[in-house]
Every structure is written in structure tokens, then in C-alpha cells.
Amino acid sequence: MIMGLDECTIKSFQKLVLEESKCLPGPNSSACSICLSEYLSQETIKCIPECKHCFHAECIDEWPRLNDKCPVCINSATPVHADYVNP
């Protein structure tokens, strides 16, 4: 069974609009790993909180609903919060 993330968690992913420099946080290339298109200025991207891999917002929006792992590094896409207590 495939386990995805809840909508609140998905909405918490960092979202930003690229400026002319197209500078991305984290270990990212100049292209989206899902659609393989280069990032352009003024495009909206989302970053997975734990690994900082970024994608076009429209490309990554469906992925975490179906899978709780980053499509690039396969690490958990679930944000780790300091106040979270494992039951």
C-alpha cells in the first residue's frame, strides 16, 4: 500500500517564486527532476523540507499525496519538527 502525506503537510512545503538569478536552496540542478525542464525566472517552485530538493510546484503537487519519499533522494519528505513526540 502506498502511503502519502496529508494536505496540511504538503501545504507546509516551502514555496517560492524564482528571481532572475534562479538561485535555489539546497542541492538542486537547474532543471526540475520530474519534468526535466529548466527553471525559468518567475516560476513557482516547492522544496521538500528535509532534503531541500526543489521542483516546479505543478510537478511536485501530486507526488507527496501518493508517496512520502523525495523523488530524487528517496529520503522522507515528512518534515521533522522539534516538538513532535513519537507515540
Return the number of other C-beta atoms located less than 10 Å from residue 77's C-beta.
24
| Domains, in order of start, for the chain | 7-66 (3.30.40.10)
For residue 26, give the nearest of 56, 57, 53, 59 by alpha carbon: 53
The band of 2, judged by pLDDT with boundaries at 50, 70 and 90, is: low
The band of 20, judged by pLDDT with boundaries at 50, 70 and 90, is: confident
Average pLDDT, rounded, for the chain: 81
Distance of alpha carbon 87 from alpha carbon 73, whole angstroms = 27
Quick one: how far is CA 33 from the chain centroid? 11
Q: Looking at per-residue confidence, does 86 or 53 come out higher?
A: 53
Q: What is the pTM of this model?
A: 0.74
Tell me the pLDDT tens digit for each residue of 26-55.
777 888 988 999 999 899 999 888 888 999
| Contact yes or no for 44/24 (Cβ under 8 A) | no
